[in-house]
Structure 1
Amino acid sequence: MSNNQKIQNRKFPLVLRWAWLFWLAFFMIWLRAEDVDLIFVTLLALTASSLILFSYTAAKEFKQTLPAYLLSGLIAGFLVTPLILSLIVFKSSLHAHGFFELPTGQINDILINTILWLSIGPYISYAIFRRKNAPLR
């Protein structure tokens, strides 16, 4: 079986493909900007963790139980902080200023917000589970 057939046989909805393309476009726009604001990179990390979760659940047989949804929300919340930090490091390495773009206080804010993302993730996944026409069902 060729690689093209393997890709076409996967259950990967068209909506997720377009969502990844839009995320990539916003990522490229963010790379060009000279900013030290955390709002855009946080939104990028939040959407990336959600898209990673949705992509995984679309590709695999996902249990339709509440504990599975809560665990997936916890994992998505856990991914936010490492994604923020890796995006910032990637952007800093491309711009090559010779110094880190963000002050230590902002890095501390990112690390402190890890608890927030870990607590919000299961709530969002619970809301998705309770919704009648959830896209994961």
Structure 2
Amino acid sequence: MGAWGTKSFDNDDALDWVGDLLDSEGHEFLKKTLELVGHEQYLDACEASQAIAAAEVVAALIGRPSEDLSEELIEWLDSQKDFDKILVEVSRKALKRVLGDDSELKDLWEESDCYEEWRGQIKELEGRLQD
């Protein structure tokens, strides 16, 4: 799975995605990542991990950041001015898909001893995305 912990950025797919975000135009890349989750019948682990990372960025943009943000990501967030509020709702929907029945990442975590901890991390992120 390429993960060393249960937190949102504790895996290769999320960190690769952050690198791509830092090189991107910003919010459009973020939105595409989150919307992709809604178009897949079976959500693969890579896309789910990237959607979790994207949801973390959205939470940070609304002033509810994780303590696990990298220095580069914090600098990127500080450079962002405009924010499309629709990203909050898209993030919530994406996280529901990650925790749903057709999610490879959820299936992989269920096979581990850390499923409840991982699920708790996602639920905590969902809470930071609430109004």
Q: In which range does the TM-score fall when normalised by the shorter chain?
A: 0.3 to 0.5
Report the structure, 1 or 2, having the larger helix content.
1
Larger Rg, first or second structure (1 or 2): 1
